[in-house]
Structure 1
Amino acid sequence: MASTVLRLGLLLVVLSACSLSAEGKKDAVLYCSACRAIVDELSYSIKQVDPKKTINIGSFRLNPDGSMKDQKVPLARSETHLTELLEEVCNKMNDYAHYVDPNTKEKSYKRFAPRDDDKSAFADFENFQFGDGPESSKSLVFACESVVEEYEDEIISLFAREADHVAEKLCSEVSGLCKATVPSRGEL
């Protein structure tokens, strides 16, 4: 009886250790890059909206005095527009690939596909790694979806009220997915 209890206890310890290791750690480079790519893509999309466009927010009920309480806010940073952008942002991760800096050998994910209004092409394609392995854009899409799901409210809140340093605030301070340094535009 005692040996059966001991074996059962040992089995539980082994199973719990296996389940902890099966969860694994998040790939720091992947998740940091996904967070920064989200910020970059949302920032770009917001800049594409005409600043004169507005949206009505507020209640559409009549007040006792017969008036309606609503207000106009800029469309680009409205919660409605930001929610729509978040629904599509992870599709843009296919424009990113695993990149190894030729000088520092530092790994990250960078945008390789130029945008419509970006006339400069990236000349260092040999430093990008394309493929179906764990460092593919599919992994970045999954990481993006995870970040958006976990931090959706924070992302919307930061973009609704902030215009500067969103990447540092979201990716370093709020989520802790990145170290405190923020790369220059184009380096994610």
Structure 2
Amino acid sequence: MSRLSVLSAASKVAGRGSITDLHEISMSPWIKQVCLVLAAVFMLSSTTESKKDEALYCSACMAIAEEMNYSVSQTDPKKTIHVGGFRLKPDGSLMDKKVPLARSETYLNELLEEVCNSMSDYALYEDPDTKEKSYKRFAPRGNDGVNFPDFKNFKFDGPESSSALKFACESIVEELEDDIISLFSSEADHVAKTLCSEVSGHCKSSVFQHSEL
């Protein structure tokens, strides 16, 4: 039924009434539908958030911080990059500012584009003492010390496990890209704790409040 038909029918039933009244009669069902849709979206969003695996998302966030820290540490500290573009100073001279390459926004963006590919080097790890589970790097780097997690405590659940961690990583990077770059460019202390506990909230549970943060 068209809106004009609804208005006509409403007019006949009411016998009288202003145009505003008729609009209210015809629009009420639409308003109710919109409210129902918004309520459904809100409930779905809340349910999705509540179903997030904290061990998975906290581990992904920690892995991002670890991989970024490692990449930055492996970059020659003597390398610099010009920033500021072609902006002029008040005296008319060209603004020329150099910053360490490893802390530049351009370089950090490049690292972020690749960081989630490193999630294939992580697997589910069960602490032999506490039985707590988290994802840790199982593939040691050349300069990793003797404190690397014992390989026998890793649980390899196939490619699905690594895909889930990569998806969580990509979700965090997409959502918090600016925050991640800001933390690393400013050489903030305790980046992992700030990013994963305070900014993202993925490591809020007491289970994950360990010294590694």
The TM-score by the shorter chain falls in which range? 0.7 to 0.9
Structure-2 residue corresponding to 1:27:
53
Structure-1 residue corresponding to 2:19:
none
Q: State the 1:60 CA deviation.
A: 2.3
Task: Give yes or no for the alignment of 1:160 onto 2:185.
Answer: yes
Residues 72 and 92 of structure 1: CA distance in aligned 2, closer, same or farther (over 3 Å): same
| Counterpart amino acid of residue 110 in structure 1 | K
Structure number, greater radius of gyration: 2
Q: Percent identity?
A: 65
Task: Give yes or no for the alignment of 1:77 onto 2:141.
Answer: no
1:49, 1:76 within 8 Å by CA — same for their partners in 2? Answer: yes
TM-score by length of 2: 0.71
Unpaired segments of 5 or more residues in structure 1? 1-8
Residues 107 and 80 of structure 1: CA distance in aligned 2, closer, same or farther (over 3 Å): same
Q: Which one has a larger percent strand, Structure 1 or Structure 2? A: 1
The whole-number CA distance in structure 2 between the counterparts of 1:182 and 1:83 is 29
The whole-number CA distance in structure 2 between the counterparts of 1:143 and 1:159 is 20
Q: CA RMSD in A?
A: 2.8
Unpaired segments of 5 or more residues in structure 2? 1-32
Structure-2 residue corresponding to 1:125:
151
The whole-number CA distance in structure 2 between the counterparts of 1:123 and 1:107 is 13
Q: Which piece of structure 1 moves more, 65-74 or 161-170?
A: 65-74
2:117, 2:166 within 8 Å by CA — same for their partners in 1? Answer: yes
The whole-number CA distance in structure 2 between the counterparts of 1:162 and 1:175 is 18
Per-residue deviation, residues 15-62 of structure 1 (Å, max 9, x unmatched): x49x72873621100000000000000000000011110000012256
Give the number of the structure with larger relative contact order, counting CA–CA contacts within 8 Å between residues 6 or more apart. 1
The whole-number CA distance in structure 2 between the counterparts of 1:113 and 1:95 is 5
| Counterpart amino acid of residue 203 in structure 2 | C
Q: State the 1:69 CA deviation.
A: 1.3
Residues 173 and 63 of structure 1: CA distance in aligned 2, closer, same or farther (over 3 Å): closer
Residues 97 and 183 of structure 1: CA distance in aligned 2, closer, same or farther (over 3 Å): farther
Q: How many residues align?
A: 172
Equivalent residue in structure 2 for 1:106, among 117, 126, 132:
132
Structure-2 residue corresponding to 1:170:
195
Give matches, 1:54-73, under 5 Å.
54-60=80-86, 67-73=93-99
Structure-2 residue corresponding to 1:144:
169
Q: State the 1:141 CA deviation.
A: 0.5
Q: State the 1:184 CA deviation.
A: 2.8
Structure-2 residue corresponding to 1:3:
none
Structure-2 residue corresponding to 1:184:
212
Q: State the 1:119 CA deviation.
A: 5.7
Q: Which one has a larger percent helix, Structure 1 or Structure 2? A: 2
Q: State the 1:132 CA deviation.
A: 2.8
